Every structure is written in structure tokens, then in C-alpha cells.
Amino acid sequence: MFIKKIGIDLGTTNVEVFVPKRGIIINEPSVVAVSQADKKVLAVGKEAKEMLGRTPESIVAHRPLKDGVIADYRTTEAMLRYFINKALGGIRFFKPEVMVAVPGGITSTERRAVIDATLAAGARAAYIIKEPVVAAIGSGIPIGAASGHMIVEIGGGTIECAVISLGGIVASSSVRIGGNKFDMAIMEHVRRKYGLAVGERTSEDIKIKIGSAMYLTEKLEMEVKGRDMVTGLPRIITVTSDDVTDAIQNELEGIIQTVKDVLHQTPPELSADVMDKGMILSGGSSQLRNLAELLAQATGVPAFVADEPMFAVVKGVGIVLENLDAYKRSILGAGNRRY
């Protein structure tokens, strides 16, 4: 079967690839390992993530995307080429059309960088689509209805909050807070409170296994291994869910404020719709324990986590791809470019 269209959720933490009629075929970390000597790409995705924090000086494993946008153009291009080739597989006789989901708040320069990197990676045409819109579509929200729907997409690099009606964004905000900021805050908290240095992967594990947006009556605990800041020797400590809640307070306040800002911008009729239906949370970081409850408490608007929140964006991209002609004029706007 010839693959003519590919949808990509180019996330700060993960890259997901959708092919029409086959669904989500790739879900791998957006990490690239590069040789320092000749700048050659050694590994991409899962293999490269295994190297994070474990490489010799001659190899650097890093994320080429920061806060939802390209921080390292050349490495992003190599990563995109790898995922496009993996999706197509084997020999191919033509270039595919590629649609990439990007944060709603990116600048025209950042948008151009994504288009250029996608074309350089082997696409015949590159389309850019905003994450809040596809996250809403992928979460099952009927965006074409004459009614207000609120989507809060919390990814690794950004939070995208929008109220959508009649296929368009009425009020929105994009802030560079996400799962990666949670991880950094946990690392810093463990270092400050326990005098223990832990890596990025360990702090992500702590967040996933025992993290909570609100203090739990029955605390969760986890043993954590790291390097003692004083002696320099390995040490094991026990971290609790309260430690994580303490660590990420600033980031949680940023998320609450973003949601409140969008609610303040929303016209009264649509506010009433949002109050009736509640807000839908999507994105990998929306799975943090009690985050929906915290947002509902802070805003007075009911909050629900979407089914398969991590895949909402890429599922939405897939739906748009399968109905590309219908969506081209309405939501792609001037962001598309073709040869």
C-alpha cells in the first residue's frame, strides 16, 4: 500500500506518527543521540532515550525540541527524516504529504522552521495545524457545533488552552509550562531537600509513579537512587507524593492561571456552554493524579480527562488527514505550504 499522507504530533517529549487506515504506528521519545566528533546522528527515539544521562563526552543525547518548538534545527530535521522513513518503510517512489501539529502560540519564524525541517526531511508538502484544534477533534469534541467547548492540552513543553466554537478558536492561550518543567522542579526539590542529585529520567519516574497535583490523605512513597551532593557517593532515599506536590506548585499555579485567562476572554454565551459541558484535559501531563480535580476546584468549571489523553493530538491530526479537503479551508488557513 502506497502511503501518501502522514500525520505527526511533534511533541517536546514524544513524537507520534499517524498513517490513514493504519492508525498510530509510531510513538517514540523525541530524543536524538549525536556524535560530537562528526555531528553524526547515532540513535533516535527509544534507543536514544536509553542513553540520556549515560553517554561519554563524545556522544550527546538530547531533545531537539524545547517548549514545543525547534531548538536545534539540524537535529530536528534528522529526527523527522528518521520517523518519516520508518513510517513509509522500504523503498518508496514518491514523497508524502505531511501534517504536523504545533503549539498554538508559536511565532511565524518558529512555524517556518517546522515547515522547512519537514520539507527537508523528505515531505512533498507540509501542513501546519494548531494543537488545541486537533486535540479537541481527537478528544471527540464536535468543533463545528455552534456551542462553546474548552480544551486544555498539557504536553511535555506547553499548555494549550482554547475555547472552540463553529470550527474556530474564540479564546486561547499557549504557555510554555508542561511535563518537562514538572520534571525539572522535582529534580531541584530533591536536590534542595535531600541533598541528592537525580537525573531527568528518575524525576520523570517519580512524577509518573507517585506524583499528585493535590496532597493525598494516603501518601504514596518511592525509593530513589542518586548521588549525594556532599560525599559524591551513591545514596538511596524515600520520596513521597507530598514532595512532588510541593515541588510543582509554581507550575500548577501557571496552569490554573492560563485556564482562568482563557475563561476571562470567553464571551458570556460560550462561558455558559463551557460551564454546562466542562473542560476536557488532554496531553500526557494531564494524567497527573488529581489535576482535573484541582482545576475544577480553582475555576468552578467541571474538568474531565479525555480518553487516551496522550494520543488526542495525533488522533485529531489523523481525522483531519483523512478528511483533508474538507478541513483545508476551514482550519488550516494560511499555515499550509506546498510545492
**Are 211 and 240 a contacting pair, CB within 8 Å?**
no
267 with 170: CB under 8 angstroms? yes
pLDDT value, residue 334 = 38
| Cα separation, 68 vs 13, whole angstroms | 9
My answer on whether 91 and 179 are in the same domain is no
Tell me the C-alpha distance between 317 and 311, whole Å.
Answer: 10
- Main-chain phi, psi angles of 159, to 5 degrees: -110, 130
Note whether 124 and 147 are same-domain residues: no
CA-closest candidate to residue 137, choices 15, 299, 18: 18
pLDDT(65) > 90:
no
> Rounded to an integer, what distance in angstroms lies between the CA atom of residue 190 and that of residue 188?
6
Please report the DSSP string for 262-290 in residue order. HHHHS-HHHHHHHHHH-EEEESGGGGSBT
Residue 339 in this model has a pLDDT that exceeds 50:
no
Query: By the 8 A CB rule, do 11 and 27 touch?
Result: no
pLDDT at 3 over 90: no
Show the cell assigned to 182: 514538572
58 in the same domain as 196 = no
**Over the Cα atoms of the chain, what is R_g?**
20
DSSP three-state, residue 107: coil
- Residues 170, 299, single domain; the answer is yes
Residues 6+ apart with CB under 8 A from 191: 197, 198, 229
Beta strand 125-130 with 97-102: parallel, antiparallel or unpaired? parallel
Whether 147 and 173 map to the same domain: the answer is: yes
The pLDDT value recorded for residue 2 is: 58
What average pLDDT does range 145-153 have in this prediction?
Answer: 92
Looking at the fold, whether 236 and 319 belong to one and the same domain comes out as no
Whether residues 186 and 88 share a domain: the answer is no
Count of the separate structural domains present in the chain: 2
Burial class (CB in 10 A: 0-12, 13-18, 19+), 167: middle
Contacts of residue 315, Cβ cutoff 8 Å, sequence gap at least 6:
18, 24, 137, 138, 308
Residues 11 and 125 in one domain: yes
Identity of the amino acid at 122: G
* Greater pLDDT, 162 or 54: 162
280 pairs with which residues across the strands? 151, 304
Residue 103 is predicted with a pLDDT of: 86
Distances (CA, A) of 58 to 24, 36, 154, 167: 34, 5, 34, 49
Q: Verify that 68 and 170 share a domain, yes or no.
A: no
Question: What's the pTM?
Answer: 0.87
Question: Is residue 64 located within the same domain as residue 167?
Answer: no
Average pLDDT for residues 154-170, to the nearest whole number? 90
Q: Give residue-wise pLDDT tens across range 183-223.
A: 999 999 999 999 999 998 899 999 999 999 999 999 999 99
The CATH number that applies at residue 53 is 3.30.420.40
Q: Cα–chain-centroid distance for residue 232?
A: 35
Residue with grid cell 512524577, as numbered in its chain:
207
Whole-number Å distance between alpha carbons of 336 and 250: 36
Confidence label for 338 from pLDDT (cuts 50, 70 and 90)? very low
- Does residue 16 contact residue 8 with C-beta atoms inside 8 Å? yes
| Pair (105, 253) in one structural domain | no
Q: Give Cα separations from 300 to 147, 255, 304 (angstroms).
A: 19, 15, 13
Is residue 66 domain-shared with residue 110, that is, in the same domain?
yes
Q: Which residue segment(s) compose the domain that 288 sits in?
A: 141-305
What is the reported pLDDT for 302? 95
Query: Given this model, what pLDDT does residue 37 score?
Result: 82
| Dihedral over alpha carbons 12, 17, 18, 23 (to 10 degrees) | -110
